[in-house]
Amino acid sequence: MKKVMAFKILLLLAISITTVGCKRSSSSNSSRATGWDINSREGGFQYNTQFKEQETAPGLVFVEGGTFTMGKVQDDVMHDWNNTPNQQHIQSFYMDETEVTNKMYMEYLDWLKRIYPPTEENYKAIYNGALPDTLVWRNRLGYNEVMTENYLRHPGYGEYPVVGVSWIQAVEFASWRTDRVNEMYLENAGYITRDAKITSVAAGETFNTDTYINAPTQVYGGNDSLTNPENTRRRVNTTASGDTTGVYAGRETGIISPSYRLPTEAEWEYAALGLTELRSYNIYRGRKKYPWDGQYTRSGKRKVRGDQLANFKQGNGDYGGIAGWSDDGADITNEVKKYEPNDFGLYDMAGNVAEWVADVYRPIVDDEFNDFNYYRGNVYTKNAISEDGTVKIVTTEEIVFDTLPNGKVIARDLPGEISQVAVDDDETYLRQNFDRSDNRNFRDGDKQSSRQYRESFGDEEGVASETSMTSKMYNSPKHNVDIDDSTGALIREYDKSNKRTSLINDEVRVYKGGSWKDREYWLDPAQRRYFPQTMATDYIGFRCAMSRVGSKSKQKNKTKN
């Protein structure tokens, strides 16, 4: 009798647990707004209710955001007021563990060469416009031809940071990388047929993230067989009315990753400092001069005591030390991961190569206007709309090429991408947070901050264009390149004026960190320099970043101090 009673009790407990479990499962898929079921087989609202957190994309490490003092907190021997200290807050984000290497960039070039063969006249400029400038290694009084001929392509330099890449080329690489990673994610989730990214793509038939989100039937040039559930491993639901759901993945699925991009200057500096090792409860116990702790460039650890912690120029004629016992193990750049990472797990945030960041250069960071995710360089755009009301997809006949001031021709958009136009009054009318498309010279280079503020210039009403406002502020050289319509030859016009007062304009970008060619002074993450976005050198490379969506921290139950 006792056994029967015990069995009944166990049975009742099992039923109650099952019931409670069902209720919990049901409630997690019901709306707190309406009480309706979410993800019902009958149709209605579809949403990823099981999403936990953003997946760390290939090559990246997590950088938890926070507050820090941006700017020169140590030496300012130049007294140039180039980066005065100011308090900034950075949202959590992801950053490449290392600089983008030659091997990583070669994969990009290989893809372009396969999809847009440079032997075809219509695509020639696409591949050539992405090629790094290997001639940056040449020196009029030095023999560097071995790097000119081998540095980019030889496997001996495969894991070395890529150089000779302009800011524009770095941005295009990040855009390409975004599409390739999201294409892989969608393939793994069953939304795209296996190996379509290799076997089924051609010029005008490629995957683009924004096109997939806004016009999924137009991705791969409209070849819907690659996204058709009959050919993929994706199971879709059919509603009572016969409609299918879950054919395409939108943002709400959580599968599509945010874009790779260049880090902002504030993000780069915050990540390079790695201030977590100085944290004591809720304050920083001191300041940092380098990405590592301490005031010196040599290691104090017993095992590697005396070793240099970064790759930089020791002194005149000393790029690597004495043969047999090298100061830093390199004469030019060095293989990535050869030096210890900082507390965020990031390598070479000082030395090796300096790195492009996203910002347009200005002498002063405007912390009075914004101290949250500071960035100068926003140019807001929107999707171009065709006459039939659909987004306008770039075709192989509509590729837009641009001739840069240095004569290099690049493709501004590729087939399969959505054409972009500047935002207009529909987005800016009566807004408080922005009122124009191009904000690169906002509060610096505008009429109020120009030398001719009280003069009337521009049109008849004295309203200056954005171009003239920047030029009036900085008066930089204006070189020009044109194309001879009859011969197709480039006509280069140099600005020979002796009245120019600055090299600053809206096309110069910040680069951060010291390089193999720099002295110790430039290893401080707060140091900042600038270079034209269309030009390249043998000491500037780059790494990518990605925004974090959702929670600030990866720790669920983080200890509060």
% pLDDT > 70, the chain: 84
Rounded CA separation 537/532 (Å): 10
* Res. 47 pLDDT band, cuts 50 70 90: confident
* Residues 390-434: tens digit of each pLDDT: 999 999 998 988 888 888 888 888 999 999 999 999 999 999 999
Give the separation between CA 328 and CA 311, rounded to whole angstroms.
6
For residue 491, pLDDT over 80 is answered with yes
Residues 273 and 271: their CA atoms lie apart, in Å, by 6
Instruction: Determine the average pLDDT of the residues in 40-53.
Output: 85
CA distance 249 to 260: 19
Residues 6 or more apart from 387 whose CB is under 8 A from it? none
256 or 443, higher pLDDT: 256
Residue 240 has what pLDDT? 67
Which pLDDT tens digit goes with each residue over 507-516?
Answer: 999 999 999 9
The pLDDT of residue 136 is 97
- Residue 457 in this model has a pLDDT that exceeds 60: no
Task: Please check the confidence at residue 291 and state whether its pLDDT lies above 80.
Answer: yes
- The reported pLDDT for the residue numbered 27 is 40
pLDDT at position 214: 95
Give DSSP secondary structure letters for 142-209: B--HHHHHHTTT-GGGTTSBP-S--HHHHHHHHHHHHHHHHHHHHHHTTSS-TTHHHHS--TT----H
Q: What's the start-to-end Cα distance of the chain, in Å?
A: 57
Confidence of residue 23 (pLDDT cuts 50, 70, 90): very low
Task: Quote the pLDDT of residue 12.
Answer: 65
Please tell me whether residue 66 adopts helix, strand or coil conformation.
Answer: strand
Q: Determine the topology of domain 60-189+255-373+507-547 in CATH.
A: paralog of FGE (formylglycine-generating enzyme) (3.90.1580)
Query: Could you give the 3-state DSSP secondary structure of residue 466?
Result: helix
Residue 518 has what pLDDT? Answer: 94
AA letter at 452: Q
| Cα angle value 159/342/85 (rounded, 5°) | 120
Long-range contacts (CB closer than 8 Å, 24 or more residues apart) made by 447-455? 449/473
Residue type, 170: A
Residue 508: phi and psi, rounded to 5, are: -110, 140
pLDDT band at 75 (very low <50, low <70, confident <90, very high): low
Which of the 8 DSSP states describes residue 248?
S
> Are 422 and 380 a contacting pair, CB within 8 Å?
yes
As a whole number, the mean pLDDT across the chain is 85
Chain segment 145-197, per-residue pLDDT in tens: 999 999 999 999 999 999 999 999 999 999 999 999 999 999 999 999 999 89
Average pLDDT of the residues in 427-453 = 79
Helix (H) or strand (E) holding 107: helix 102-115
C-alpha 131/C-alpha 143 separation (Å) is: 22
**Identity of the residue numbered 253:** T
* Predicted pLDDT at 44: 82
- Distance, in Å, from the CA atom of 312 to the CA atom of 310, rounded to the nearest integer, reads 6
User: For 249-256, which contacts have Cβ atoms below 8 Å and span 24 or more sequence positions?
Assistant: 249/186, 249/189, 249/191, 249/212, 250/213, 251/213, 252/46, 252/47, 252/48, 253/48, 253/189, 254/48, 254/51, 254/54, 255/185, 255/186, 255/189, 255/191, 256/182, 256/185, 256/186, 256/209, 256/212, 256/213
3-class DSSP state of 21: helix
Cα–Cα distance for residue pair 493/483, rounded to 1 Å: 11
Helix, strand or coil, per DSSP, at residue 104:
helix
pLDDT at 334: 96
Look-up of token digits 């009566």: 430
- The model's pLDDT over 298-338, given as tens digits with 9 standing for 90+, comes to 877 776 676 788 999 988 999 988 887 777 889 999 999 99
Quick one: average pLDDT of 118-138? 95
CB atoms within 10 A of CB 30: 16
Q: Which residue has the tokens 């347009």?
A: 360
Residues 6+ apart with CB under 8 A from 215: 390, 391, 393, 418
Q: Which pLDDT belongs to residue 420?
A: 94
What confidence tens digit (pLDDT) does each residue in 326-370 have?
Answer: 778 899 999 999 999 999 999 999 999 999 999 999 988 888 889
Q: Is 352 exposed, middle or buried (0-12, 13-18, 19+ CB in 10 A)?
A: buried
Q: What is the chain's alpha carbon radius of gyration, rounded to the nearest angstrom? A: 27
Q: Give residue 208's pLDDT band: very low, low, confident or very high (50, 70, 90).
A: very high
Nearest to 130 by CA among 114, 147, 152, 108: 108
Task: Give the pLDDT score at 236.
Answer: 75
The tokens of 364 are what? 């002063």
What pLDDT band is residue 557 in, cutting at 50, 70 and 90? low
pLDDT at res. 232:
80
Contact 539, 136 (CB under 8 A): no
Q: Is the pLDDT of residue 460 over 50?
A: no
Question: Picking from 2-16, 67-81, 103-117, 159-173, which range would have the lowest pLDDT averaged per residue?
Answer: 2-16
Residue 514 has a pLDDT of 92
d(CA 467, CA 375): 20
Tokens of 45: 């609202």
**What does the pLDDT read at residue 258?**
97
Tokens of 51: 């999403």
Predicted local confidence at residue 1, as pLDDT: 54
Phi, psi values for residue 423, rounded to 5°: -70, 155
pLDDT winner (highest mean) among 86-90, 150-154, 555-559: 150-154
Q: What percent of the chain has pLDDT over 90?
A: 53
Could you tell me the residue ranges of all domains in the chain?
Answer: 60-189+255-373+507-547, 441-505
Task: Return d(Cα 528, Cα 509) in angstroms, integer.
Answer: 10
Question: DSSP class of residue 507?
Answer: T
pLDDT above 60: residue 559:
no
Q: Quick count: other Cβ atoms within 10 Å of Cβ 113?
A: 15
